[in-house]
A = this chain, B = another copy of it.
């Protein structure tokens, strides 16, 4: 572990919520931090995280995250804001709080509204994952080279953004800065829309057709099988941007249909 730039790089990190993303981040953080603390409601998850080498120490108590230089909230989306504020109240002055919520504008607004003085918050969203869930599926390689979006606002301390950018590069990911509202519009198209399209396709293919489907069908319907609770939270949190993305898609689908009616769809 190189500590040459420890002034700007977080030496200690805490991850709250050790699911697929939290667990994967913890695994990678352990390669670059002196100490990684895990917090999870489930003692069995903490045991598994320790056994997998994802954390140095674990606790079901949010207070255990309080001593870290950087605290990452990786709970389900619906709990991110509340958990982030509760964690911030236990964090030391100057520490940095971020999260991995898939929708940013409502989370960032809610956390800023409850943030205690002294704690620096920057919204975050690592663009990684797969259709699995839980610490058992955690895998640091899903992070490799992926964008990690940061969503600072006018209220964000630029030095906290710089510290997280350094951390993200050390995690072997690509830092990307976006406005929270812009982030939500873009992920509605690039992430939430593909899920809903996969879901509709999954429903539209009859069982006897599915039986002879090729690899393309399997891959087009894979994310329809990802955790539904997570997607329901995302759909509720990003409803308006998702509906705008659906309008874009419906227009393109209508255009594809006309192409088929007339004989030749084009890219």
Contact = CB atoms under 8 A, between A and B. Distances in A.
A255 B200 contact: yes
A243 B267 CA distance: 18
Given A200-B252, A209-B186, A194 B217 contact: yes
Interface in A197-224: 197-206, 208-217, 219-224
A236 B264 contact: yes
A20 interface: no
Interface stretch (A64-72, A112-120, A127-135): A127-135
B248 A260 contact: no
A197 B197 contact: yes
Number of copies: 2
A185 B209 CA distance: 8
Nearest to A203: B252
A63 interface: no
Interface stretch (A40-48, A79-87, A162-170, A227-235): A227-235
- Give me the 7 closest cross-chain CB pairs, A-B, nearest first: A190-B213, A189-B209, A200-B252, A186-B209, A204-B249, A190-B209, A203-B252
A132 B142 CA distance: 25
Contacts of A188: 209
Interface of A: 127-130, 142, 146-147, 149, 176, 178, 185-191, 193-206, 208-217, 219-225, 228, 231-232, 235-236, 239, 242-243, 245-246, 248-253, 255-257, 259-261, 263-267
B198 A193 contact: no
A214 B264 CA distance: 30
Given A191-B213, A266-B228, A201 B196 contact: no
Contacts of A260: 196, 235, 239, 242-243, 246
Contacts of A193: 201, 204-205
A256 B190 contact: no
Nearest to A226: B216
A168 B18 CA distance: 47
Contacts of A214: 127-129, 146, 190-191
Contacts of A220: 194, 197-198, 219-220, 223
A219 to B, nearest CB: 5
A212 B149 CA distance: 8
30 contacts: A129-B216, A146-B214, A176-B211, A186-B209, A187-B209, A189-B205, A189-B209, A191-B214, A191-B217, A193-B204, A197-B220, A198-B216, A198-B220, A199-B265, A200-B252, A204-B245, A204-B251, A204-B252, A216-B223, A219-B222, A220-B220, A220-B223, A228-B267, A231-B265, A235-B265, A236-B263, A242-B260, A246-B260, A249-B253, A253-B253
